[in-house]
Chains A and B, each alone.
Chain A
Amino acid sequence: MFSVVISASIYGVGSRLVRVEADVSRGIPCFQMVGMLNSEVREARERVRVALKNAEIKLAPMCINVNLSPADLRKEGTAFDLPIAIAVLIAYGYVRQECVENSLIVGELGLNGEVRAVKGILSIVQEARRQGIHKCIVPRENALEGAVIQGIDIVGVSHIREIVEYLNVDRTKQSEQIPVTRVDPQELMQLGRNRMLLDFAEVNGQDSTKRAAEIAAAGFHHMLMVGPPGSGKTMIANRIATILPPMTVDESIEVSTIYSVAGMLPSQNSFLVNRPFLNPHHTITQQALIGGGRVPTPGVVSLAHRGVLFLDELPEFKRENLDLLRQPLEDKQVQIARNNGTYIFPSDFMLVGAMNPCPCGYFPDRQKCNCAPYEIGRYLGRISGPILDRIDICVETPSVNLEEMSKQTIVSSENSAMIRKRVLSAREIQKDRFKGTGLQFNSEIGSREIQKYCAVKAKNQKLLFRALEQKNITLRGYYKILKVARTIADIDGAEQIEERHLMEALYYRKTDEKYWKGNW
């Protein structure tokens, strides 16, 4: 008898539905599987056979053929165990074909018949909903994760016998057997959000760097901090995620899908509530950074999607690794080509870099730094021009001495909530401005749109032009100043870009002009 069960396979961060077909007929007893299977899928045969035996479901010795269709698509992962088992059971007549109508089944089987968690449930459930499927039967451990997607029923099962019983009861009574898992994503977000461990109020001094972080967060500008060791660069970077606007449910699902595909979703959380913050060590490999492997998995740049990618000690990263960031910074996605297709991973992150100005870290304080100019030049040269070009904000972090710290008590440090409020209002303004244009943030304004969004009155530009002439700032540098000034004006709530906004933006530009244009 012939049977069909719908399942799915992960491709990049997306999924494709796969029909699992089984046929049982007379002949020499065998269990054959076809359909361009990876070895882990081929191994499903042994797992299914033993699991069914241990679940005390007896299969008569017959010729079993299983096909995974479309047959020209490579099948990967362990999620096909359960659908293969069900398809075989339908073919044997243990379960009726109509019981799995309009349902999608995924899950890994243990030899004892237990159903185990698989990767990428969020992605699979989303695809199922898009294709008009009503119900997803998933491993119980994954049920909460899948239930985040609204408009489709998620049923969690933990044993092969449980699912067989479930499928065999009357449709109307199924929900009594195993209730559909329901989750309110809004509520989950609220619950998760209260757990903020870091705060900007803990950073003493460095007010100008904090301000730079605020602007970067408001306009989603990439940012680079240059300063001596111990000046608080890492501390500030760690807290940037706390001033970014909280994720919306859609964003959260988007990010969680990537984590789900990578199998990195924390087991107690059904999905991610806080923006990702990743700080890979500088010894990271190319595959880990950008994504890769024979079957590509998302890299750090994708895991930082909609969040912050913090690269500490930037020049210590291999130059070729840093240059790999060019594509994700430009296209906001990563393409990985393999012989069975091109995988696309989203990677729209905010790059925050931190570095010392020289190998010893103390330049230009010549009392401490004895680095020769060529050493400094070589150190700075590890960061290529194209990467620098994409960084809008560059600041120096002066070293803080303890004596001054005690004097600074008159300046109370702002906490993250206060800063976030300003960031949020600036984001709202941007949302209105870019309605229907496909743009989201000021940092995305291209040279074509710059006149439209960043127009400045001539009288306000006088000083800026003087500065541009003095310091030989290029046209690209000028555009960056305009974009950052636009964000500053948004934080200020100003309609027009004023001179003071331009002057402040100039400050964030000059540092890299100084270090990388040989002015030191």
Chain B
Amino acid sequence: MSQKEKRNGIMGMDEKELPYAQWLYQIKGMGSKTIVKLLGDNRKPSEVYAMTCGEWEELLPQGKHAIVKVMEENRLHYNPEEEYGKLLDKGIHFTCLGQLTYPDMLAHISDKPFGIYYKGKLPDKDKPSIAIIGARNCSAYGKYMAEKLGHELAEAGVQVISGMARGVDGISQYAALEKGGYSMAVFGCGVDICYPAENGNLYRMLVEKGGICSEYVPGTAPQANLFPPRNRIISGMSDGVLVIEARNKSGTLITVDMALEQGKEVFALPGRVTEPLSEGCNRLIKQGACVVQDTQDILQELEKLHRYNKETTEFLRKKTREKCTKECKCKGTIEVETENERTRKILQDIIDYSPKSIEQIRIELFHRIGNLYSIPEMLGVLMEMEVLGLIHRAGNGCFVR
């Protein structure tokens, strides 16, 4: 695509124009639409920078004239080149409409931001990407599934887009990076601010191996009203949105609405009907969202969108099948099971994804084998299983698989 070609309603521009584009974008009160007006008729940002106030007023509609004063004042003490250099020094990049680097997918949504700031890399256009979103206060089940799907999608070469929030967001992104995949976090504050602070480690990993982007000027503090708009970027950058866990009136569902508006695929992880944290997901499924039982469901859907290569899918499918048979074989080779092992197997059956207390497990085991384990025996077996990684603690003295 040549630079001269019109990209996204704005003429392609040289990289040298970026400092001036950034200058325009960072002006307080300047919206993306105003910038497009100013840049109409193939005007370059640097040309806009050099214009007089009168010329600006001519370009803008009557109601927007107030901004001219702000622009004039800003121009007086702002050196675009110098400030842009400072940003680069901090490892913060800027891209805007008309640039080759601006994500294609994002350019197709209706209220796209004129520019975005980013650290690390932006997602690869040729690779599929999925937004994984969900509750901040997720359950053990949500945690487990976010991690599992994050791992598997990364292994399949799918990029994970999310908001680096507590809970599902952070867990899935961490999981993707862990497996060597790519992940992008979209912030509701400046990219130089790590919010929430407890995800500091993930923040560093993202800068190194993935990316962080935001439509807000660096230094913008996290504010509640800034977060919902960033959701449109999360969905806008992805081929589909996967909801892990959401309450009925969850903020996660805002992202889903945005995704539907943008015509993206919505995936939802089913949960128990009684679980408030799965209510949102189950409702989405009722409304026609794609049910996700494993990664294959997502990959197949991506294939239909021509965003995913079938061969790879086949390969993966085979691999999982092999893994299954291998496990079966392993189990088959143990001919003589000790009593301990038999109990372990039954326990693995009893302990599922909803937390169960030791007492509950003990009673259920009694009903299965008719033999009441004493508490010390029970604890011994359970801890053994935990050490072997067969079960996990869910807190409150409860265990989950």
Residues of chain B whose beta carbon lies under 8 Å from any beta carbon of chain A:
135, 137-140, 166, 196, 198, 275-277, 357-360, 362-363, 366, 372, 375-384, 386-389, 393-398
Do residues B198 and A373 form an inter-chain contact, with CB atoms below 8 A? yes
Please judge, given known A-B contacts A373-B166, A466-B387, whether A211 and B380 are in contact too, CB under 8 Å.
no
Q: Taking the nearest CB of chain B, how far is it from the CB of A510, in angstroms?
A: 7
Which of A82-90, A357-365, A435-443 makes up part of the contact surface?
Answer: A357-365
Residue of A nearest to B138 (CB): A366
Please judge, given known A-B contacts A370-B137, A514-B395, whether A503 and B359 are in contact too, CB under 8 Å.
no
Query: What residues on A are CB-neighbors of B366 within 8 Å?
Result: 410
**How many Å lie between the Cα of A147 and that of B379 in the bound state?**
49
Q: Taking the nearest CB of chain A, how far is it from the CB of B151, in angstroms?
A: 18
Do residues A396 and B396 form an inter-chain contact, with CB atoms below 8 A? yes
Do residues A470 and B375 form an inter-chain contact, with CB atoms below 8 A? no
Query: What residues on B are CB-neighbors of A488 within 8 Å?
Result: 376
Interface centre among A396, A463, A492 (most CB of B within 10 A): A396
Which of A123-131, A200-208, A265-273, A329-337 makes up part of the contact surface?
Answer: A200-208
Q: Taking the nearest CB of chain A, how far is it from the CB of B286, in angstroms?
A: 21
Chain A, range 406-461, C-beta contacts under 8 Å to B: 407-408, 410-411
Query: What residues on A are CB-neighbors of B375 within 8 Å?
Result: 207-208, 210-211
Q: Taking the nearest CB of chain A, how far is it from the CB of B357, in angstroms?
A: 4
Q: Taking the nearest CB of chain B, how far is it from the CB of A410, in angstroms?
A: 7
Residue of A nearest to B197 (CB): A374
Do residues A504 and B379 form an inter-chain contact, with CB atoms below 8 A? yes
**How many Å lie between the Cα of A464 and that of B383 in the bound state?**
10
Query: Which of A396, A398, A506 contacts B359 (CB under 8 A)?
Result: A398
Do residues A207 and B387 form an inter-chain contact, with CB atoms below 8 A? no
Query: What residues on A are CB-neighbors of B380 within 8 Å?
Result: 499-500, 503-504
Q: Is A146 part of the contact surface with B, judged by Cβ < 8 Å?
A: no
Q: Taking the nearest CB of chain A, how far is it from the CB of B31, in angstroms?
A: 33
Query: Which of A411, A503, A504 contacts B363 (CB under 8 A)?
Result: A411
Do residues A227 and B397 form an inter-chain contact, with CB atoms below 8 A? yes
Q: Is A397 part of the contact surface with B, judged by Cβ < 8 Å?
A: yes
The 4 closest A-B pairs by CB, nearest first: A364-B395, A396-B397, A398-B357, A398-B397
Do residues A503 and B397 form an inter-chain contact, with CB atoms below 8 A? no
Q: Taking the nearest CB of chain A, how far is it from the CB of B140, in angstroms?
A: 8
Please judge, given known A-B contacts A370-B137, A407-B363, A411-B363, whether A504 and B383 are in contact too, CB under 8 Å.
yes
Q: Is A139 part of the contact surface with B, judged by Cβ < 8 Å?
A: no
**How many Å lie between the Cα of A428 and that of B73 in the bound state?**
87
Residue of B nearest to A374 (CB): B198
Residue of B nearest to A227 (CB): B396
Q: Is A399 part of the contact surface with B, judged by Cβ < 8 Å?
A: yes
Q: Is A346 part of the contact surface with B, judged by Cβ < 8 Å?
A: no
Q: Is A31 part of the contact surface with B, judged by Cβ < 8 Å?
A: no
Do residues B372 and A500 form an inter-chain contact, with CB atoms below 8 A? no
Do residues B387 and A366 form an inter-chain contact, with CB atoms below 8 A? no
Interface of A is mostly: helix
Residue of A nearest to B385 (CB): A503
Chain A interface, number of residues (Cβ within 8 angstroms): 47
Please judge, given known A-B contacts A205-B359, A366-B139, A507-B382, whether A467 and B387 are in contact too, CB under 8 Å.
yes
**How many Å lie between the Cα of A405 and that of B395 in the bound state?**
20
The number of residue pairs between A and B whose CB atoms lie closer than 8 Å in the complex comes to 108
Query: What residues on B are CB-neighbors of A228 within 8 Å?
Result: 396
Query: What residues on B are CB-neighbors of A211 within 8 Å?
Result: 375-376, 379
Q: Taking the nearest CB of chain B, how far is it from the CB of A368, in angstroms?
A: 10
Query: What residues on A are CB-neighbors of B363 within 8 Å?
Result: 404, 407-408, 410-411
Do residues B359 and A408 form an inter-chain contact, with CB atoms below 8 A? yes
**How many Å lie between the Cα of A373 and that of B166 in the bound state?**
9
Residue of A nearest to B378 (CB): A208
Interface centre among A205, A400, A499, A507 (most CB of B within 10 A): A507
Q: Taking the nearest CB of chain B, how far is it from the CB of A379, in angstroms?
A: 14
Do residues B396 and A357 form an inter-chain contact, with CB atoms below 8 A? yes
**How many Å lie between the Cα of A499 and that of B376 in the bound state?**
12
Residue of B nearest to A508 (CB): B379
Query: Which of A205, A206, A364, A367 contacts B394 (CB under 8 A)?
Result: A364
Q: Is A395 part of the contact surface with B, judged by Cβ < 8 Å?
A: yes
Query: What residues on A are CB-neighbors of B377 within 8 Å?
Result: 500
Query: What residues on B are CB-neighbors of A467 within 8 Å?
Result: 383, 386-387
Chain A, range 158-193, C-beta contacts under 8 Å to B: none
Q: Taking the nearest CB of chain A, how far is it from the CB of B58, in angstroms?
A: 51
Query: What residues on B are CB-neighbors of A364 within 8 Å?
Result: 140, 394-396
Residue of A nearest to B139 (CB): A366
**How many Å lie between the Cα of A27 and that of B363 in the bound state?**
91
**How many Å lie between the Cα of A374 and that of B198 in the bound state?**
9
Please judge, given known A-B contacts A503-B380, A504-B380, A507-B382, whether A207 and B362 are in contact too, CB under 8 Å.
yes
Query: What residues on A are CB-neighbors of B394 within 8 Å?
Result: 364
Do residues B387 and A411 form an inter-chain contact, with CB atoms below 8 A? no
Query: Which of A208, A373, A411, A504 contacts B397 (CB under 8 A)?
Result: A208
Query: What residues on A are CB-neighbors of B166 within 8 Å?
Result: 373
Query: What residues on B are CB-neighbors of A410 within 8 Å?
Result: 363, 366, 372
**How many Å lie between the Cα of A504 and that of B386 in the bound state?**
12
Do residues B379 and A503 form an inter-chain contact, with CB atoms below 8 A? yes
Other than A210-B375, A467-B386, give 6 A-B pairs with Cβ distance below 8 A: A211-B375, A211-B376, A396-B398, A408-B363, A500-B377, A503-B383
**How many Å lie between the Cα of A504 and that of B388 in the bound state?**
15
Q: Taking the nearest CB of chain B, how far is it from the CB of A115, in angstroms?
A: 56
**How many Å lie between the Cα of A408 and that of B367 in the bound state?**
11
Query: What residues on A are CB-neighbors of B196 within 8 Å?
Result: 373
Interface centre among B198, B357, B388 (most CB of A within 10 A): B357
**How many Å lie between the Cα of A410 and that of B359 in the bound state?**
12
Query: Which of B135, B357, B393 contacts A510 (CB under 8 A)?
Result: B393
Interface mask (A461-473 → B, CB under 8 Å = 1, otherwise 0): 0011011001000
Q: Taking the nearest CB of chain A, how far is it from the CB of B133, in angstroms?
A: 17
Query: What residues on A are CB-neighbors of B386 within 8 Å?
Result: 467, 510
Please judge, given known A-B contacts A208-B397, A503-B384, whether A367 and B359 are in contact too, CB under 8 Å.
no
**How many Å lie between the Cα of A470 and that of B276 in the bound state?**
32
Do residues B277 and A507 form an inter-chain contact, with CB atoms below 8 A? no
Please judge, given known A-B contacts A366-B277, A510-B393, whether A463 and B387 are in contact too, CB under 8 Å.
yes
